[in-house]
Structure 1
Amino acid sequence: MEEGFRHIVRIADTDLDGKKPVIHALTGIKGIGLRMARSITNHLGIPAMTKLGELDDETIAKLKKFVEEEIESLPSWMLNRRKDYHTGKDLHLLNKDIDFARMLDIERMIKIRAYRGMRHARGYKVRGQRTRSTGRKGATVGVIRRKK
């Protein structure tokens, strides 16, 4: 480990491990997977397998700015929130924004009494899975045999 090495790099309110390669470290941010991390490094021209802690200040600042502000400049099909319900824009949400948007979507479905919303409200499975034998909460249901 050299003198300018950083063990922890903070990007998008997340502490990333400096010992990992850039593409693997970026996957520590909720909302960025391996494919998105690869496209970010290709877009910025950063060597993907360089350790994150070995990057200089300028490169880290460029990476941080891109992830936090300019990530929507990537093609719209790569973003995780296309045609947002409220704004109509293509967005890429990170960290807490993903959870908040999901919660708002579920509340909207419950409010308009959509089938999926009603399933969410009752705590049932939403995507067509079977509920006869799985997804039960509480005590197990079974047959009790009588003693002879």
Structure 2
Amino acid sequence: MFKHIVRIADTDLDGNKPVMIALTGIKGIGLRMAKAITSALGLNPRAKLGELDDETIERLRKLVEEELEQHIPSWMFNRRKDPYSGKDLHLLSKDVDFAKMLDIEKMIKIKCYRGVRHAKGYKVRGQRTRSTGRKGMTVGVVRRKK
């Protein structure tokens, strides 16, 4: 039976898309990670996600949510040597946003250069600020009347 929506890692995935493309709908999984997941399970990456049987979808869900660290090499993870636990992790969905928020809060707390820029709302990565990145009212040059 064809499934139009498949739920993996708290994300609704489109069953009409190929498995590899559908997995990229989960935050934290890109094309390379999706390719590694399909090859670890021995799935055809071009098969439609909705056409897979229930057992295969359950295996896919279990690998993505629980066993990713055992089947994928650690150099592919998005959070290697986590500063809090010291482990190699691969974060998904809400955890990605939460870890990013904690990292920014830590930078602001220790008052490093990037933290100060974040706190003030300026550009952080060396972009130009003379002419872009302004918020609020536009301010121009006032001309004298002739």
Q: Same fold (TM over 0.5)?
A: yes
- TM-score tier after normalising by the smaller chain length: over 0.9
Per-residue Cα deviation, 1:68-105 (whole angstroms, up to 9, x for no partner): 01111211110000000100000000111000000000
Aligned partners of 1:6, 1:15: CA distance in 2, in Å? Answer: 11
Aligned partners of 1:127, 1:76: CA distance in 2, in Å? Answer: 27
Aligned partners of 1:147, 1:39: CA distance in 2, in Å? Answer: 68
**Pairwise CA distance, 1:139:** 1.0
Percentage identity across aligned positions?
76
Provide the aligned length of Structure 1 versus Structure 2.
Answer: 145
Matches within 5 A, 1:34-113: 34-73=31-70, 74-113=72-111
Aligned partners of 2:32, 2:52: CA distance in 1, in Å? Answer: 21
Q: 14, 20, 25: which is aligned to 1:17?
A: 14
Query: Which residue does 1:27 correspond to in 2?
Result: 24
- The DSSP-based 3-state class of the residue aligned with 1:16 is strand
* Coordinate RMSD, CA, aligned: 0.8
Aligned partners of 2:75, 2:118: CA distance in 1, in Å? Answer: 28
Query: Which residue does 2:122 correspond to in 1?
Result: 124
**Pairwise CA distance, 1:144:** 2.2
Gaps (5+ residues) in structure 2?
Answer: none
Q: Which runs of 4+ in 1 moved over 6 A?
A: none
Q: 131, 140, 143: which is aligned to 1:142?
A: 140
1:20 is matched by which residue type in structure 2? Answer: K
1:5 is matched by which residue type in structure 2? Answer: F
Aligned partners of 2:60, 2:12: CA distance in 1, in Å? Answer: 14
Aligned partners of 1:41, 1:110: CA distance in 2, in Å? Answer: 39
Q: TM-score of the superposition, structure 2-length normalised?
A: 0.97
1:6 is matched by which residue type in structure 2? Answer: K
- The DSSP-based 3-state class of the residue aligned with 1:9 is strand
Aligned partners of 1:53, 1:7: CA distance in 2, in Å? Answer: 6
1:84 is matched by which residue type in structure 2? Answer: D
